[in-house]
Amino acid sequence: MPFITDPTASPLPILPLWINGAPHPLTAHTLFPVTSSISNTPLHSAVSATPSSATLACDAAATAFSSWRNTTPTHRRTLLLKAADRIAARADDIAESQMAETSCPSPFAQFNVKQGEAGVREIAAATSELRGSVPQQATRGDGSGEDVGGLTVVIREPVGVVLVIPPWNGAVILPLRAMSMALAAGCTLVVKASELCPRTHSLLLECFEEAGFPKGVINMIQARREDAAPVVEAIISHKAVRKVDFIGSAAVGSKVGQVCAKYLKPILMELGGKGPAVVLEDAHLEKAAFFCAMGAVLDHGQVCFSTERIIVHKAVYDKFVEFLVGAMKKIPNAGDAVTRQSATHAYDVLKDAEDKGAKFLLGGPEYITETSLKPTLVTNVSREARIWDEETFGPSASVYVAENDEDAIAKANDSAYGLSAAVHSTSWEHAYNVAKRLEYGQVQINNMTPSDCPSVPIRGVKGSGWGQSNSIWGIHEFSVEKAVYFHASGGSNIFLDH
């Protein structure tokens, strides 16, 4: 959606609400600034939605659904591939917007665009996997128990209007994945863009509309944080909205999930993590140290898949720590936090750990700038410390000693979260035997915890979410199976016969 200008409302360019293929009028809406954390200056203004404007977005999506649901998977695949082409063509603009709004480094922004495009292409390809089935019908369905034939077909239909709530981290990969899965299934969308990067999310919408998606199929709004709760409830309560896809923190996910429960609406959630990396005694220590360090500091640690805990077999602990400290020292600056408040949170978690007896192998609660913390390795962590099982969302990791494999597995599973883990070993059999006992949706062998593939299902377990994303698994989340019975015309019916 293009910026609009209204000098009487704001000296900055204004990002509107986008409803039914057009900007929604500014009248009676509140503007809020979108600010760079690094410069601490506004980049542009955005319109904050109200429950009434959110309802209009739902109405538009509902109207569009009546025709979009009848499009063929082949047609939807063609448009998704065209959208991927537009994303590739506008990659620089999208990356620059993500860097400006979220303060992420250029390589991370470029990676987001490239992987986001790849995800759209994989989902487009998977539309061909949308299939029904013809189960054998053993007996009549009228209670007679007679085997008189008939036919039953099970078909897949789109669930309806979907609310997508993407986050600011992974600001390209994650909204593209969520939007594409629902669109591929034949659903229409109301997207609540992140208030921290609404322009980045709007650029993705532009790519879909440039590809030929009809007006009303994708509607996008954003809201100030203080306006968000009533806006989200207005959408979830709308009779046409049939499912929610939320990606974000466990705290917010719990609140959104409670609203969904209130209105009996299903929700797909990918929430936070406290990702463990388990370093076994037969690991390649130098390589493992590199992956653990990178997994901890990627985008200032603001990734749900981040390596937050490193659990090391006691036989190799001392040697591994040498490599780990050396690897972290090669990363003197991990980038910047999305907001100054986010940097403060990461600092406060480290300070709390220090106050409760933690020691630092490297770094500590120390700022480089107001938005950047020193890469940090923590040890001697108390169970009473916040860092024990709270996401830091900063460039740090806690290091623990494991007595043996059993102890390492127990320590890795000792978390409310279950998103992504890693196991390091030179023996794939050894790594697998440990990996299969870890309570995580993804386990990386000899790699960073923040890693996934667009053609493989991704999910959280325990407190890290419900449901699956990526490829056909994600498309199935937004379709429902319907059984259609064709009963044989002959034969008796026990209800009529009596």
Residues labelled as active-site residues: 270, 304
User: Which among 44, 60, 120 has a CA at the least distance from the CA of 87?
Assistant: 120
DSSP lists the bridge partners of residue 219 as 190
For residue 369 the two structure tokens come to: 């700038």
First to last CA, the chain: 65
Q: Is 334 exposed, middle or buried (CB count within 10 Å of its CB: 0-12, 13-18, 19+)?
A: buried
User: 221, 190 in Cβ contact below 8 A?
Assistant: yes
Return the number of other C-beta atoms located less than 10 Å from residue 5's C-beta: 11
DSSP lists the bridge partners of residue 23 as 18
Return the number of other C-beta atoms located less than 10 Å from residue 81's C-beta: 16
**Sign of the CA dihedral with 176 first, then 182, 184, and 189 last:** negative
C-alpha distances (whole Å) from 342 to each of 347, 392, 395 are: 9, 9, 12
Residue 404: left (phi > 0), alpha (psi -120 to 50), or beta? beta
- List b or e across 18-54, with b for residues whose CB sees 16 or more CB atoms inside 10 angstroms: bbbbebbebeebebbebbbbbeeeebbbbbbbbeebb
DSSP lists the bridge partners of residue 367 as 373
In angstroms, rounded to a whole number, what is the distance separating the alpha carbons of residues 78 and 375?
Answer: 44
For residue 168 the two structure tokens come to: 């600011």
Q: In sequence order, what DSSP letters do the residues of 161-200 get, joined into one string? A: EEEEE--STTTTHHHHHHHHHHHHHT-EEEEEE-TTSHHH
